[in-house]
Amino acid sequence: MTHAIHVAARSHTAKIILVTGSTDGIGLATARELAERGCAVIVHGRNARRADAAVREIAAATGNRNVTAVAGDFGSLEEVRALAAQVLRTSPRLDVLVNNAGIAVRRRRTTKDGYESTFAVNHLAPFLLTNLLLDRLRDSAPARIVNVSSGVHTSGRIDFDDLQMEDGFDGWQAYSNSKLANALFTCELARRLDPAAVTANFLHPGVIDTKLLHVNFGGGAPVADGARTPVHLALAPEVASVSGCYFVNRRQTRPAAATGDTRLATDLWRVSSALTGLAWQHNREGG
């Protein structure tokens, strides 16, 4: 695996951007476009082999050698913590975090932590990773957090009595629920952040022909189309001070009404903190 990120020592202008789930699909297209634009890109994959292969592909396609790899399975909170530690150890700065990694499954399965996999990978993992990297993002201000949600967040539901969907699992509903969780997380995160230091926005990338969509639900547009809005939110000067908003086709759009429910968002944050161990960690550090 690629080791330390040296770009900060060589260049004070190249933005350092971590793109999760960037070994294929929208994530890979996003990472490639960011590298094409001269950014120092941290590619993330489930394992080192996949991440290193994506780094070689991006470097060959763009000529950008400031592309490095990190690995961690989002189905394991322990690996998410190790991933965060690796980023903090190897990158002295982090200008943008793009939370792109996600799954969709037809049948219910659980992670090694015992959580329903769609909820765990799509929501709990980026929730934990973002919180673990927040101080580095603040220290790199102005910084940005870009969360890849989906238009299907509008049909999502957050049922605190059955977050793990043990009672009648449906893959499409689980995916929709996780995308609403992404949206609520973004809105609550934005309320907790100083937008002059760190912004947080979420987006619908379009109906894109990724492995996730094609295998589970059918085809869509080319992956390059899906990268346009994440890249826009990561780099565009005109959104530098915009936070807590939803974007489709690079334009700010009204999200589902549920995203304005601050109690729902704060309750989800509290429960997510408990499920990921952040609440315990904060209590220990505060005590």
| Model confidence pLDDT, tens digit, residues 201-234 | 999 997 644 554 444 445 566 777 899 999 999 9
Q: Distance (Å, rounded) from C-alpha 232 to C-alpha 251?
A: 9
> Can you give the pLDDT at residue 287?
43
pLDDT at 35 over 70: yes
Lowest-confidence region among 141-150, 152-161, 275-284: 275-284
With cut-offs at 50, 70 and 90, classify the pLDDT of residue 273.
very high
Cα–Cα separations (whole angstroms), residue 233 to 42, 99, 138, 239: 17, 12, 17, 7
**Beta 246-248 vs 96-99: how paired, if at all?**
unpaired
| Mean pLDDT of the 38-42 span | 98
> Can you give the pLDDT at residue 157?
98
> Can you give the pLDDT at residue 225?
85
> Can you give the pLDDT at residue 8?
39
Amino acid code (one letter) for 177: N
| Mean pLDDT of the 139-157 span | 98
| More confident call, 34 vs 212 | 34
With cut-offs at 50, 70 and 90, classify the pLDDT of residue 279.
confident
| Mean pLDDT of the 151-155 span | 97
Q: Which of 74, 175, 246, 247 is catalytic?
A: 175
Q: Identify the bridge partners of residue 98 per DSSP, sorted by sequence position.
A: 19, 146
Q: How many CB atoms lie within 10 A of CB 149?
A: 29
> Can you give the pLDDT at residue 223?
76
pTM exceeding the 0.85 threshold for the entire prediction: yes
Amino acid code (one letter) for 160: F
pLDDT at 11 over 50: no
With cut-offs at 50, 70 and 90, classify the pLDDT of residue 171.
very high
Q: Distance (Å, rounded) from C-alpha 42 to C-alpha 51?
A: 9
Pull the structure tokens for residue 72: 């961690």
Pull the structure tokens for residue 254: 């009204």
> Can you give the pLDDT at residue 285?
57
With cut-offs at 50, 70 and 90, classify the pLDDT of residue 92.
very high
What pLDDT, in 10s, does the model give residues 51-91?
Answer: 999 999 999 999 999 999 999 999 999 999 999 999 999 99
> Can you give the pLDDT at residue 85?
98
Specify whether 246 is catalytic.
no
Pull the structure tokens for residue 96: 């943008």
**Residues in CB range of 105: below 8 A, 6 or more apart:** 117, 118, 171, 174, 216
pLDDT above 90 covers a percentage of the chain that reads 85
Amino acid code (one letter) for 256: A
